[in-house]
Structure 1
Amino acid sequence: MRTRRRLRAGGHLGGFAREAAELSRRQAAATSAVEGAAFRVRAEAERLALVPAETVLGPLARSIRETAREQDRDVDLDLRGLDLPVERGLLQALKDPLLHALRNALSHGWQSPEIRRAAGKPEALALGLEVAVRGSRLQVTVTDDGPGPDLSRIAATARARGLIAPGEEADPETLLRLVFEPGFSTAEAVDTLSGRGYGLSVAADAARQLLGSVRLEPREPAGTALVFSLPLSAARRSLLLVEAAGRTYALPGGAVERLLRMDRTGLPIALGRTILRIGADDAATNHPVAALTEILGQAPTAPDAAGQDPTILTAVLLRAGGGRLALGVDRLHDVRALLVLPAPAFGADPGLIAGTAVLPGDVPVLVLDPDGLAARAASMASGLSLGTMAQAPRSTTAPRATARATILVVDDSITTRTLEKGILEAAGYRVVVCVDGQDALDRLRAEIEPIDLVLADVEMPRLDGFGLLKALRADTRFARLPTILMTSRGDAADVSRGLDLGADAYLTKQKFDQRQLLDTIGQLL
């Protein structure tokens, strides 16, 4: 009897198990179907919202070429970034203002072939339209290589309209803002090409409606740029996923120049920073490595705890801030095309965060702004340890007023020269470099340019820092030229010798503080 009951119970349990397995299979299939449908809905919604910029802005090229032919003007039109997916509504709102801006550039930028040839330009006027993403904003730029903004005519028009008081002198930045005033136009005659007298107020109105901004600026060596900067609600972008301190971040793929994994033991170190040397021979450039954890203010993960080899440096070389940034990370993951949404409204640093993206599994990641990272890396000094500085009495130097002082950096190490030059240029100084004391002395005596301060190494070939300082103090032209010695020789006798020779400050390289260097220079200037 018991055996039969056990068999029946076993049969029931087996049936329950089969039913449970079948239910589990059906649930998994249903979940998969729902996720697939949701993915297709999201993809279709994104496809409807985002279109390549060329879809809306492409016809502008034909329109401006036809206008140029009607005016018997030869143009060379360059369109860039039109493959970038952007919200259709945003592009539609920009279409007419951009056509107006291109016509305006054709009108004000055009010069006769004779004038262009005399200026060394091709006979055809170069017009450009570029669509790009900069951080969390969409930047659309219209350019020409014409004569550039006529500031004197702008000033005259502004005075005639009462925007500038008689006799008042306005700076170029103010004048370039006035061109967006309603009805402001410097065209000699009102016609369909120059904007029917409405000027660039159409562009300013469009930018305001889109919660953005627009600016007019001169280009080098010649020409004008009209730049729209607009909030970017969403766009699909190629992103490089990296890891730092156990967290995943995204970097815009367009800013990534190189991925690097290098043996740390073979890398030079200058002023306490690991240096990456990119390129070869005279074309090589040196870049101090900035750790992503340091820039973000996070505690770094120990290499062993993170499963890393401490002897290997993993870095990303980014194009940022008009130069390059060597960014140290813990790991490199993969490159994905993801929808980038605006940065969160709270808890995000607008200077560093360009937006957010969502990985599969609804995992959010922050998209970092390369320009913001470069600016933070250039300004922070927390990664450099405190240093020692002995400063001479303030009376040894004459006070100087320096809006943009020129500093002569003298060091036989190319890595140290490059790092010091980067620090000083980021602080707003103009920098001239020399490879040793004799090179510096020859340049100073040649009086190629006025030098406001000398920052020199001590141990150099031909003429060391002490010899350079002695020669400067013996020359009446340079006897009061502020001079800072920076060297690895930090013992008391060397410091005393440097100050006795007339150094205004003496810093050691092993313990270097960027802030103290800049503060000292500021005091001496």
Structure 2
Amino acid sequence: MTDIRKQLLAAFEAEHREHLQAIRTALDHMGGGEIDLTDVFRRAHSLKGAARAVDLPSVEEVAHQLEALFSHVLDGQQSLDEPTVATVRQSLDLIEDLVANVLKPEPTQAVSTPAPNPASLASEPRAPTTDAADAGSGSYLRVSAEQMEELSDSMHQLLAELQADAGIDDALRQIELEIRGLRRSWDHLHAQVNALASPTQQSRGGPSFLPRLRDFDQGLKALFRRVSALSRDRRQSSWSVEQAARQVRDNIDRVSLVSAETVFGGFGHMVREIARKAGRDVNVRSIGLDVQVDRQVLQALKDPVMHLLRNAVSHGAEPPDERRAKGKPERAEVTLELASRGGRLAISIRDDGRGPDLRRIERVAVDRGLLQRRDLGHPPPMIDQLLSLVFTPGFSTADEVDRLSGRGIGLSVVAEAVRKLQGSVLLRPRYPHGTEVLLNVPLTAARQPLLLLEAEERMFGLPSHAVERLLRLPANALESVEGRPTARIEIGGQDVVVPVVTLAALTGSPNAPLPSEAGHVKAVLVRHGSRSCALAVNAFHDVRTMLVSDVQAIGLTELVSGTTFLDNELPALVLSPDKLVEHWIRNESRLAAGGLGIAHRAPEEERRARSILVVDDSITTRTLEKSILEAQGYEVLLSVDGIDALHVLRSGEAMVDLVIADVEMPRMDGFSLLQAIKNDPRLSTLPVILMTSRADPEDVRRGLDLGASAYITKQKFDQRELLATIGQVL
């Protein structure tokens, strides 16, 4: 395959996924009456032209059929009813499958090469592990993944050494302060000595030691100046070295990150093939595959995510007759969604199937001795208590082992893989149908922000992402439930009774008392799913980004996700927050069954995702903003100009919480759109953010005077600024 052909196919792979995803998303929003048929038609047309450019006639033909279908719908000659939508979805799947077959990796073949010229080898030495290639527009260096990992580890170790080196700076600063104090004492003493050695005293024959005092005074001043200068230089040098090291670390991390598409991109095709061979009709959606993640993290999650997708099909997808009887579409849906949130990777695998079989889970748990058999009339365990059991090694509710259900090993393999990455996993039912598994892991495998804690003279690290709040609870305000300490804590606007658990009691000292100091208990509020616990500790120390190694600890394997080394070279155990909560749930099953620590969540329909209307005539800008916002959980609607946006808003077919609009657009610009919104009594309270390249102060003032909630210029566009502004407005 020629280089130009490879480049065209690589570009087409990204483009065709964008068009397919956009059309699928439009079809998904049909239920709310919101579908941009013009955009859908344009995308089918663009897909046809792109397929022709890369010489894929089979894809071009299917795209042409889609284009003709959407054209008839736009002209009113055909309606977009359920059979038509089903045909469109099948065509989209067919295009994805055709492209996947074309882009399959070619089998490695032995290549015959002429014997090298000894003279050329002598004059042109070759590196054994790297390979440079000219790609026309620039040069590329291919380096083995192992070398990149070693380089990254070395860089992180260097930063750890620099952090430890900060102790020298503190010591030098202390010496400077001590010399400063010595200098002040000497100045006071010098005045007294001068008084004693006055000319009157010398005339009486007293000893004269003024010359030696002057020499000592000058020497002390010189020493003080040198130490002060050295301290300043040391601080400046340390700061510069640390900044340079951090810059190198960030550059290395950027090289180590790859698109999730590289590992998860083919999952949709694979799962559909498996489902078809099992006689099931499943639509598989993939969202957020453009997120950048450490290659090691993606590889570690490859099998677990595939296992969860198989489970979603095998346990979730009912036969068409059963789905019709429940009022569902005949075609089951499975969604894989990835998003980057706060330096961590959030993965959701969800379906619209049967949902967790709580009775069967309880039966299997009782049979395996994980739960006590309930007496007749006794209430069942809490949902989170039951669902946490499915990650127990060997736990499986499958009646038989088949290609879909895997080998009957259950979800423990998923939990173990996530634990090794210092992450968390959660299974929960969806409303009104289905199941969702949430994985939360770091974007990079090596470094973790940790909260350092002390309990019973032992140091522990707790991933900072799991820390909801640091608490200082009055000891006399603690309450007791069945003899266990609890505290009333405001969580999400609710007054929740949370268990207060001594961390040392969970980590090897079962009889450890509740630590208190000056009449208060220090505790860390952690949360797993809807359950919260307050972990009582002796002291909080620091929050640091540290290297975490996957080292097992005897007796604490379940609770410990890794180890890290402190400044004194002593190891500290890194704890798994979700395992700590699950450990408490198992040990205190009666309290857990009573709902202690649970903040009751609102029904899913009441927790509707915020909807944002993006108005911009540039498809590139619309696509960029849409991907950024959807990765943060927002629902995104698109309009190409102000008139189109007003039609969406005034139709009432979609609930919009915020408008983000460009200023320079055809037909109706952003200022006119803003003015029309604020003059419409039904829309006047709707917040609007103007985001444009027009940075003139007069334009900014005009936008704000017209009622814009914020004005962001594209010259300094930063997605963090956009998201922060949206957070403040909403």
Name the TM-score, length of structure 1 as normaliser: 0.43
Question: Relative to total residues, which structure has the larger helix share, 1 or 2?
Answer: 2
Q: Larger % of strand: which?
A: 1
Which structure has the bigger radius of gyration? 2
Q: Which has the higher contact order (CA 8 A, sep 6+)?
A: 1
